[in-house]
Structure 1
Amino acid sequence: MTRVLLGAAMMMSVQGAQAQTATAPVQPVATATSAATLRTGTEVPLRLSEELTTKGKKLRVGQRFHLEVAEPVMVQGVTVIPAGSPAIGEVTEVTNKGMWGKSGHLGARLLYATVNGRQIRLSGAFDDKGVAGGVGAVAASAIVFLPAGFFMTGTSARVPMGTIIKGFVDEDVPLAIATGTPPPLAISAPVPVASGQ
């Protein structure tokens, strides 16, 4: 009889421990967000992912080229445009080098960066001009022998891969930024069960 009562008491103790563990309150993880805005004019440093050059006469107006964000863009201490995010630009002007020492020239503008599948419009432009093929030499050779200046050419315009280009956000982008840190989950420890003798 004593063994039956002792066994029943142990069963009740185990069931009570299970009930306490099962009914322990678990707090849901909630993160608060605050509204913020990535403002027009925010600077976005970009790195050219490919070389742009008028050499070979392959560059065309309207041609697109690739860049990447060189440094993270932050709003309220939170990264909203991570470094390495892809960006796109467009060639707006191409002049190839030519006779009489004419140098090459190229112009380009920034279009957008992509973050989490969303395109963020950018503004900004850059250009490069090759070196003229010795204007003084062309003038002197033209006086001495006119056709000699005709064969002198300038250099091609070239913007090397890795060049840092300054861009700017060209639209206000609304953001939802997580604030604070979520509270840790409240997990109760199981009640120790007394071992029987």
Structure 2
Amino acid sequence: MIFAWGIVLAAQAAGADTPIVVPIPSDSVPPIEHIAPEQVVVPRDTPVHLMVLNEVSTKDHAAGHKFRLRVDRPIVVDGREVVPVGATAWGEVTDASRSGNVGKSGELAAVLTHIEFGGTHIPLEGQTTADGKSGKGETLLGVLAMGPLGLFAKGNNAKIKAGEKMVAFVAQDTLLSDAS
């Protein structure tokens, strides 16, 4: 089971000054009156601006490949920056069809999964797709110039380019500690 930040409770036993951290399931954020001042809830559907760090293409990557993104604008809740620019986010390729003969272009689909920040995973909802350019025009010219051998002209691979920007949304209310 995935856990969000625990609720920090003051230890009552033996006069201890050390707080006790009690983990809570990520799908149950405590009522607002139980959230400590140094904690904040990042609400569901908060927009998150991301940037791809390294190119992902159908030439080099298959379904299941995980790729890094970075938070491109700070996440602000109630006027307070809670996740800075540069925090690491992750995506995963869900479908990668390579380019093929007769000018067939590649197709790529990916989901944006989560942000890793201060030991917490902030779940995301979002997806992106990319299509390679069709090589049908080149195939036609190849057939005219080389006969049937022109049918072996390939389309282009699909790519999500490094530096490409996209937007995802926080998938569920997530409790963060200010010390993140």
The alpha-carbon deviation at position 148 of structure 1 amounts to 3.3
The alpha-carbon deviation at position 173 of structure 1 amounts to 1.6
Q: Which has the higher contact order (CA 8 A, sep 6+)?
A: 1
Largest Rg, 1 or 2? 1
For residues 127-158 of structure 1, the C-alpha deviation after alignment (integer angstroms, 9 at most, x for no partner) is 1101111x355457668976234211111111
Tell me: CA distance 1:148–1:47, structure 2 relative to 1, closer, same or farther (3 Å).
same
For residues 155-186 of structure 1, the C-alpha deviation after alignment (integer angstroms, 9 at most, x for no partner) is 11111111111111001123567xxxxxxxxx
| SS of the residue 1:112 aligns to | strand
Answer yes or no: is the 8 Å Cα contact 2:120–2:176 preserved in 1.
no
Distance 1:101 1:176 in 2: 52
The alpha-carbon deviation at position 33 of structure 1 amounts to 2.2
More helix by share: 1
What is the aligned length?
Answer: 144
**In the alignment, which residue of structure 2 is the partner of 1:109?**
111
Tell me: CA distance 1:139–1:72, structure 2 relative to 1, closer, same or farther (3 Å).
same
Please tell me the residue identity of whatever aligns with 2:134.
A
**In the alignment, which residue of structure 2 is the partner of 1:81?**
83
Answer yes or no: is the 8 Å Cα contact 2:103–2:138 preserved in 1.
no
Please tell me the residue identity of whatever aligns with 2:87.
S
**In the alignment, which residue of structure 2 is the partner of 1:127?**
129
**In the alignment, which residue of structure 1 is the partner of 2:161?**
160
**In the alignment, which residue of structure 2 is the partner of 1:33?**
37
Matches within 5 A, 1:35-184: 36-55=40-59, 58-133=60-135, 135-136=136-137, 138=139, 147-174=148-175
Structure 2, unaligned stretches of length 5 or more? 1-35
Distance 1:140 1:164 in 2: 35
For normalisation by structure 1, the TM-score amounts to 0.65
**Quick one: percent identity of the two aligned structures?**
33
The alpha-carbon deviation at position 43 of structure 1 amounts to 0.3
Answer yes or no: is the 8 Å Cα contact 2:142–2:153 preserved in 1.
no
Tell me: CA distance 1:41–1:97, structure 2 relative to 1, closer, same or farther (3 Å).
same
Answer yes or no: is the 8 Å Cα contact 2:139–2:154 preserved in 1.
no
